[in-house]
Amino acid sequence: MANGRTCSCWEELVERIKNRSATVCVMGLGYVGLPLALAFARKGFHVIGFDVDKTKTSKLMAGQSYVLDVPSAEVSDALAKGTFIATSDVQQLKSADTISICVPTPFAVDMAPDLTYIESAARSIAEILQPGRLVVLESTTYPGTTEELLVPILESSGLKLHEDFEVAFSPERIDPGNPTYHIENTPKVVGGLGERAGELATLLYGSVVDKVVRVDSPREAEMAKLIENTFRQVNIALANELALISSRMGINIWQAIEAAASKPFGFMPFYPGPGVGGHCIPIDPHYLSWKAREMGCEITFIELAERINRSMPAHVVRLITVALAKAGKSLIGARILLLGVSYKRDIDDLRESPALAIVKQLEEARANVLYHDPYVPNYRHHGKELVSVDLTPELLKSVDCAVLVTDHSCFDKDMIVEYAPCIVDTRNAFRDYKKDTITRL
């Protein structure tokens, strides 16, 4: 391809991004992709949202959102303005100037990264890729994925990196349910595979976010994402281990952490809980561990933190057993009410929620488990459907123990304390209540 035409392609793309006449595609319309797509639409770009799930795209085209942080009115408004469409037809992506890949990256049963979603997205892009395009991977993965996996699949189209298309990595930083930080005011890390890719990606995301943090290559950007969540995994594990020690010593770990946090430097508070959930903290450090093992390195510190956090549901079950014993009851046959099953407050996401492990262990101990969660009306558990029960004084009086797993802000704590015969509090939600019937983590 002649250098003159190549330069012209890239100059045109720069101008289209600057004047927001570029067509932006977002692949994967989940809790990461849909907010990103609508953020571009709000800035005036024409956005094509792509998802293989036709149920999702049909809902979106009808103005219906299925993501808690995205109001349906915002989808309807973007449709009405003509700045957004949703499709499952990959051929519609031919007109896209930039493509951001926001697909899941789970782990396989053997704890090896499952990159099939990235591979599938890349093959779909290769089918329709045109010269002068920018492709950005946002899915969390191990360092090297952009260069080692994404680029070869894209080049199978017959087009060449740097001549015909550019590639970058920019990790998603969505925090579901966070009322303060969203796409626009959360700094966006960008690592381009080459100078031009870095400049294009910086220009693209700089159109929608307040601050772009540019690094030298995709590997630094891929690593940055893993560092963020490994840092949280390790520090939560430390808080959990300190909670286990403190319970043996009769120490209120929550007060101790708050006291330590009064130091204005050199300390950042992390808090214990029933375990970690969501896609990020329980999963992301495994990408680093897997890659380290592949390279013959040991990172036992990270793996130890993961084991500590995964042990917390068992500790919660022990606390329930102790709380019941104080009331002269056994866990076998006891009616246990879980308050909240999503992995964190005020969201509907069950992924990797510690509540799932707690339910499993309670059932294995032959307890009768019920749950109440206004964000999760039902879910499948080992082949059967569990349904959220209404939280009433009558229900609370009928159970043997209420276990606060997820501290949704809508819970009526006064009612729970008044009517539940005993409470196990894994989130320090009942810190202001001084009752012997409350067992704290």
How far is residue 262's CA from residue 257's CA, in Å, rounded to a whole number?
Answer: 9
User: What are the residues whose beta carbons fall under 8 Å from the beta carbon of 116, sequence distance 6 or more?
Assistant: none
Q: Are 207 and 45 in contact (CB under 8 A)?
A: yes
From 181, 216, 251, give the residue that closes a domain: 216
The DSSP call for residue 161 is B
Catalytic residues: 280
End position of a domain, from candidates 216, 244, 276: 216
Mean pLDDT of all residues in the chain? 94
Is the confidence at residue 1, as pLDDT, over 70? no
Residue whose C-alpha is closest to residue 168's, from 202, 140, 141: 202
4-18, 70-84, 336-350: which range is least confident on average? Answer: 4-18
Are 10 and 133 in a shared domain? Answer: yes
> Position of tokens 């897997």?
290
Q: Is the dihedral of CA 213, 219, 225, 229 positive or negative?
A: negative
Phi, psi (rounded to 5 degrees) for 200: -65, -45
Name which of 203-217, 278-292, 301-315 the model is least confident about: 278-292
Residue 280 banded pLDDT, cuts 50, 70, 90: confident
Going along 243-376, which residue ranges are E strands?
Answer: 335-339, 368-372
Strands (E) in 179-327, as ranges, are: 188-192, 212-215
**What span, in angstroms and rounded, lies between the C-alpha atoms of 195 and 168?**
10
pLDDT band at 4 (very low <50, low <70, confident <90, very high): very low
Contact 207, 17 (CB under 8 A): yes
Please tell me the pTM assigned to this model. Answer: 0.90
Its sign, for the CA torsion 76, 78, 81, 84, is negative
CATH number of the CATH domain containing 55: 3.40.50.720
pLDDT tens per residue across span 121-152: 999 999 999 999 999 999 999 999 999 999 99
For residue 283, is it within any domain?
no
Last residue of a domain, one of 184, 216, 248: 216
Domain containing 394: what range? 311-440
pLDDT in tens, 9-55: 899 999 999 999 999 999 999 999 999 999 999 999 999 999 999 99
- If asked whether residues 60 and 190 sit together in one domain, one would say yes
